[in-house]
Chains A and B, each alone.
Chain A
Amino acid sequence: MKMTTDFLDAHKRHWEDAELLFTAARWANADHLYGLAAECGLKRLMCAFGMKIDSASGSPARKKDRVHVDCIWEHYEAYRSGYHDGVSYSLSSLEFFSDWNIAQRYAPQGDFTREIAASHRDGAGKVYNLVKKAIWEGLIS
């Protein structure tokens, strides 16, 4: 089945599911979904700041922009700084995702702790708030 891409919807569901898992102390999958939530939220904002999307695949048109959250920081910065009010959408740092990796979905549960998940929750929460601000401003809807 061919599905379309909706970064905003994906951002919200990953965030909400991550929160449910975090509340249930399911650190491994909560952590995984916080990373995906941040990636989708940032990609939706990057679209609002001018990132082109390939209409056939729904992915970013530039292959270099097709990255996960641990590698997205400079790409986000490039689009944000090209937007006249990009300062309103700055993130102090995404270093807290530098230890997150998509391949960790194969890792054993015991490798994940509350602290690891909480640090990524903090980062994804900042992205969540920026997405909300963009909705309030009508930048995305």
Chain B
Amino acid sequence: MTTFDEILPVIREVLGTLTEALEKLEPVILNRDLNGRIRLILDEKLQDQPETRGAVETIVHALEKRLGPHTFPAERMVLFEPSLEMVKQGALHFPLQGFDAVTVVDRLATETDWARIEPVSSGASRIVFFSIKGGVGRSTASAVAAWSLAQSGKRVMVLDLDLESPGISTSLLPDERRPAYGITDWLVEDLVGNGAVVFEDMVTKSDLSHDGDIYVVPAHGRNPGEYVAKLGRVWMPGMDGEGLREPWAGRLARLLTALENRWQPDVILMDARAGIDEVASACITDLGAKGILLFSIDGEQAWSGYRILFQHWRRTGVACEIRERLQMVGAMIPEVNAKEYVDGLCERSWITFAEELYDAIPPGEPADAYFSFDQADETAPHFPWPIRWHRGFAALQSIHSRFQGMGKDEVKAVFGPLLRGIDAIIGFDGESHE
């Protein structure tokens, strides 16, 4: 019996044998509903047309036979609509591979779909810290980056968007300095038009930097309150001023813009949730990030996870929009055999990028006209910026006290490549890091 992953390949196979019938019906929408069931949606001009009835019958019976529970009975499989454009509105849609006139409209139960890529924000540079697996030092690295940039005189805003496992604000703020509210509080209040009440009191300046400023926006305030009850509501879509639906990620983007306007940071660092998650998707695709740092240790689970994501971007046709913003970061490089470890990490990273995101260069074509990189190219997105494992930075809880006595050399020794890379993303010469 057909399972979900076979739906699209089976349809391609079926339609590949029925091209004559298909041509009579094009353009065709393959609507995959929330339950993963396929329906055909055709232009209503074709309804009750004797010359196309046979084509419809041929295709729906062939699909019914092959797709089984992943479609509707043949007599109910086709819907006719006056506007096929309207069917696509608000839903993820992409061409069926190999069939330009067949569009898959995919309806997900989640708000985000990882495939609507917002252009890079024109304001302060926004940088996302992401990892497929947790526990790789992502939050610590973002806290260190915030501290280092602030030491160089920058106004840095740090958002803890790991809402389901908050942490970074602890490393930048002692408990007594946490603001009264956090991102979760704003997202809940915004649903009832009450966001302004918490807005001014959801940001606190960290006392760690004396030259620049670190504005910390935590996931929750001093008192988390009914955090689980609030977290269960942050994903709610809202209504905009004109009564139109606003996805929760749109509400988050609106908050980010308001925070940027209010506090005027030079750079915004966002600690995203690990994994293929709603918040992570919003951070990576919906908030106009200029740099997306992909933290990874060298493990099969991580490469498999990144490959899933890269394939999704390729399948949905958005790989070109996002790949230039990606940068691999090699996390927790072991002290023993570090060079061999980094070489292995680099090789597997390159294989993943090359197979899923880099262009294949046709024979005889100049390489520089394509988005393609050698394995050893240090400027390439796949080439990992290494962060050595360091006992002193391993425990996030102790970071705030650790920062207070931390020297620049110590930070540079561990995080140097990451900090130089971030400087390059935001267009900062980084001299004052020295």
Question: Which A residues lie at the B interface, using CB under 8 A?
Answer: 84-85, 87-88, 90, 92, 132, 135-139, 141
CB distance from B408 to the nearest CB of A (A): 49
A138 contacts B236, CB within 8 Å? Answer: no
Q: Tell me whether B31 is interfacial, beta carbon within 8 Å.
A: yes
Interface 1/0s, chain B 34-53, versus A by CB < 8 A? Answer: 11010101000000000000
Q: List 18 A-B contacts (CB under 8 A).
A: A84-B236, A87-B236, A87-B238, A87-B239, A87-B245, A88-B237, A90-B245, A92-B243, A136-B33, A136-B39, A136-B87, A136-B107, A137-B34, A137-B107, A138-B34, A138-B35, A138-B37, A141-B76
For B291-326 the 0/1 string (1 means CB < 8 A from A) is 000000000000000000000000000000000000
**What's the minimum C-beta distance from B67 to chain A, rounded to whole angstroms?**
14
- The reply to whether B239 and A90 form a contact with Cβ atoms under 8 Å apart is yes
Further contacts, 10 of them, CB under 8 A, given A87-B239, A136-B31, A137-B34: A87-B236, A87-B245, A92-B243, A132-B81, A136-B33, A136-B105, A137-B33, A138-B34, A138-B35, A141-B72
Q: Which residue of A lies closest to B37 (CB)?
A: A138
For chain B, give the interface size range: 20 to 34
Residue of A nearest to B238 (CB): A87
In the complex, are the beta carbons of A85 and B237 less than 8 A apart?
A: yes
Bound Cα distance from A85 to B237, whole angstroms: 7
Contacts of A136 in B (CB 8 A): 31, 33, 39, 41, 79, 87, 91, 105, 107
- Bound together, the chains give a CA A88 to CA B108 distance in angstroms of 13
Q: Tell me the bound Cα distance from A88 to B35 in angstroms.
A: 18
CA separation between A141 and B35, bound complex, in Å? 11
Question: A137 vs B90: C-alpha distance in the bound complex, in angstroms?
Answer: 12
Closest to A91 in B: B243
Please give the residue numbers on chain B whose beta carbons come within 8 Å of chain A beta carbons, in ascending order.
31, 33-35, 37, 39, 41, 72, 76, 79, 81, 87, 91, 105, 107, 235-239, 243, 245
Docked CA distance A135–B41 (Å): 11
Q: Determine whether the beta carbon of B107 is less than 8 Å from that of A87.
A: no
Q: In the bound complex, how far is the Cα of B238 from the Cα of A87, in angstroms?
A: 7
In the complex, A139 Cα to B245 Cα: how many Å? 18
Contacts of B72 in A (CB 8 A): 141
Q: A87-B245, A88-B245 are in contact. Are A138 and B239 (CB under 8 A)?
A: no
Min CB distance, A91 to chain B, in Å?
10
Chain B residue at minimal CB-CB distance from A138: B33
B residues within 8 A CB of A92? 243
Contact A139 B243 (CB under 8 A): no
| Cα distance A131–B147 in the bound complex, in angstroms | 53
**CA distance in complex: A130, B252 (Å):** 26
Task: Give the residue name and chain of the A residue nearest to B90 (CB).
Answer: A88
Q: Which residues of A lie under 8 Å from residue B107 when comparing CB positions?
A: 136-138
The complex places the Cα of A139 from the Cα of B109 at a distance, in Å, of 11
Residues of A contacting B76 with CB < 8 Å? 141
A73-B111 Cα distance, complex, nearest whole Å = 27
A96 vs B324: C-alpha distance when bound (angstroms): 51
| CA gap between A90 and B81 in the complex, in Å | 22
A111 to B39 alpha-carbon distance, docked (Å) = 44
